[in-house]
Amino acid sequence: MKIQSVEPIEVAAPAGEASSPWSSTVILVKVTTGNGAVGWGEAPTTLMTAPVRESVREVARFYEGVELDRHAEALRRFEIYSFYRSRSMEATSALSAVDIACHDLVGRAAGVPVSTLLGGAIRDRVRAYSNGWYSDCIEPAEFAAKAKAMVASGFRALKFDPFGDEYRTLSPEGLDRAAARVGAVREAVGETVDLLIEYHGRFLPEAAIRAGRALDRFHPRFMEEPVLPELCDALRTFRERVATPVALGERLLTAADFESFLARGLVDILQPDITNSGGFSYGREIAGVAAAHGAPVAYHNAFGPVQTAATLQMDAVLPTFFLQESFEASWPAWKRSLVRGYEIERGEFAIPKKPGLGIEVDEAAVERFRSDVMEPIGPEPPWVIAGTWLRRPSAGPTPGGPSRPG
């Protein structure tokens, strides 16, 4: 079977329908062979929708006309030609989506799930943590109420960003507000639920460390991307002064990047994203790096359902699997309609066992939501959960005094 076409398809929220949590656009990649077989991949967006879509067209030139069972040769040839690949998320995202789709096709042709192509599943189910559940939360009581609802639905781990509109620096009042939110969630859900604190890579080192030391007392399971990515060397000091483990990886693109962060003592828990770090082909290399260091892996998974399906196939084979991110419980209807074939129930995913990614893409829904828009520029940046960045006039430090360590 020769690869006949590689098509990027953008889908987007319909007019008037809220798209948070996470990403008002999704880029799917449809790879079709000469005999009409179809495989699907996905690439991330986050204010790079148009560049990634066009990068898929660049990658397509290396795959179209190639025998499917030799798709790895196309990937290696793209490596040679793509001079900035190791530092271009647009290039690696496009490559990832095509690689995922090729594996989907190979698995379908062989009648086995992708996990079998990767060496075989070592687990059938994975524990998930919920993200995106705290839309429109500002006050601590609002975080607490929604956290309790997610725990009641079966989740035993919750990730959230308590920092509102603080960026780079962190005011004393901003730290008090963050601590009040985390404290309210901890009190609401108890000590048996894992809390995961999302920083979104937003702080200078001094501010990140102050926040970490203040929030340590709530016993989070990890703190994610506490410092601005370009200041990552400061993570060594953060880890020395803050007790909670550091998680990161969604902005790392190669196995060498992950090896470097582990070797330099900058991270505890790895969070690769299969849609920007080389799909399954490079995913195996990253898994090997994690295994060699004994590093837990909690795949980043914040965009669409094809990404989730692909990530679950990696989870099935990871020797150091830790947790799986999930936005599914808080998705808008349009995103839910794109794919059938996997479910999350009581905070766990069952890993699909059907051939390929184990899913069926609803092409009618894809056509219904097809778009060529760029992500809108709204009052909040696209990387936050909607309604959490804008501060209400009533919001302020919670009574009880400062929460910062002396």
CA distances from 282 to 52, 99, 107, 200, 312 (A): 18, 9, 17, 24, 16
Q: Are 42 and 73 in contact (CB under 8 A)?
A: no
36 burial via Cβ count (<10 Å: 0-12, 13-18, 19+) = exposed
Cα(133)–Cα(146) distance, integer angstroms: 7
CA distances from 202 to 133, 183, 224, 230, 338 (A): 20, 21, 10, 10, 32
81 burial via Cβ count (<10 Å: 0-12, 13-18, 19+) = exposed
**Residues noted as catalytic:** 200, 300
The SS3 of residue 262 is: helix
Sign of CA dihedral 340, 346, 347, 353: negative
Q: Work out the number of other CB atoms within 10 angstroms of the CB of residue 387.
A: 16
Cα(282)–Cα(96) distance, integer angstroms: 9
Cα(214)–Cα(41) distance, integer angstroms: 41
Q: Are 210 and 192 in contact (CB under 8 A)?
A: no
The residues facing 11 across adjacent strands are 26, 370
DSSP H helices in 64-204 = 71-81, 89-110, 114-117, 140-152, 172-189
Q: Are 177 and 209 in contact (CB under 8 A)?
A: no
How remote is the C-alpha of 203 from its chain's centroid? 20
292 burial via Cβ count (<10 Å: 0-12, 13-18, 19+) = exposed
Cα atoms in the Cβ-side hemisphere of radius 13 Å centred on 183: 16
